[in-house]
């Protein structure tokens, strides 16, 4: 595993920029193979914004033309562990009735946030709700949900980069990594 010094922290690279790009291209093809109808892509902000942007562009190259809306949910705030309470900070504006919806999230860990969003969209009449995650971190699920599409299984580490943060730091990193400690 390679390591970088960023903002006074040692960051270990778990998934490189090229690994992520290749997997997102494959994932877009997998989604297109399901032949979604009237697809609405709903990134769950904030952590998914980089993954969602790359995935939406890859979906275009895979022959899809989804509409996009955004939802902001939180169960973390400034903490590194989920509080267990999901809050809607920004809701979608699109009507989902009778549509296929793809929820895009950065990481499936406890599953509370994604399960909440899926239940909410389903209750509003979506014909089908799919889920896509950059990372699936098995072993921590507290909700009955699985990802329909995932890029990578994630080791049991607190991850940063590619949109994911540690107290608002490291979202800009073009890779997924984890903080090893302070730079010496």
Q: What is the pLDDT of residues 31-81, one digit of tens each?
A: 999 999 999 999 999 889 999 999 999 999 999 999 999 999 987 555 555
6 sits in which H/E element: strand 3-6
Domain containing residue 130: CATH number: 3.40.50.2020
Q: What is the mean pLDDT of residues 21-27?
A: 98
pLDDT computed for residue 118 by the predictor: 96
Comparing 73 with 85, the larger pLDDT belongs to 73
pTM: predicted TM-score of the whole model, two decimal places:
0.91
pLDDT score of 160 more than 80: yes
Let me know if residue 141 belongs to a domain. Answer: yes
Let me know if residue 8 belongs to a domain. Answer: no
> 30 — phi, psi (to 5°)?
-60, -40
Let me know if residue 38 belongs to a domain. Answer: yes
Q: How many domains is the chain built from?
A: 1
Strand segments, DSSP code E, in 23-175 are: 40-45, 67-68, 71-74, 87-90, 100-108, 128-136, 149-153, 159-160
Q: Binning pLDDT at 50, 70 and 90, where does residue 23 land?
A: very high
Let me know if residue 21 belongs to a domain. Answer: yes
22-26, 70-74, 76-80, 136-140: the lowest-pLDDT one: 76-80
């Amino acid at each position: 595993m390679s390591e970088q010094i960023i903002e006074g922290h040692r960051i270990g690279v778990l998934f490189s920029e090229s690994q992520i790009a290749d997997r997102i291209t494959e994932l877009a093809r997998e989604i297109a193979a399901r032949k979604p109808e009237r697809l609405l892509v709903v990134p769950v902000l904030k952590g998914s914004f980089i993954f969602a942007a790359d995935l939406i562009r890859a979906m275009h190259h895979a022959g899809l033309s989804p509409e996009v809306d955004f939802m902001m949910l939180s169960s973390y705030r400034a903490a590194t562990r989920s509080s267990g309470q999901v809050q809607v900070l920004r809701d979608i504006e699109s009507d989902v009735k009778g549509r296929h919806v793809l929820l895009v999230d950065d990481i499936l860990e406890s599953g509370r946030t994604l399960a909440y969003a899926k239940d909410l969209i389903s209750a509003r009449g979506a014909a089908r709700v799919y889920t896509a995650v950059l990372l699936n971190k098995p072993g921590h699920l507290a909700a009955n949900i699985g990802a329909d599409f995932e890029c990578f299984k994630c080791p049991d580490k607190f991850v940063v980069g590619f949109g994911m943060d540690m107290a608002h730091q490291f979202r800009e990193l073009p890779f997924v990594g984890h903080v090893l400690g302070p730079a010496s």
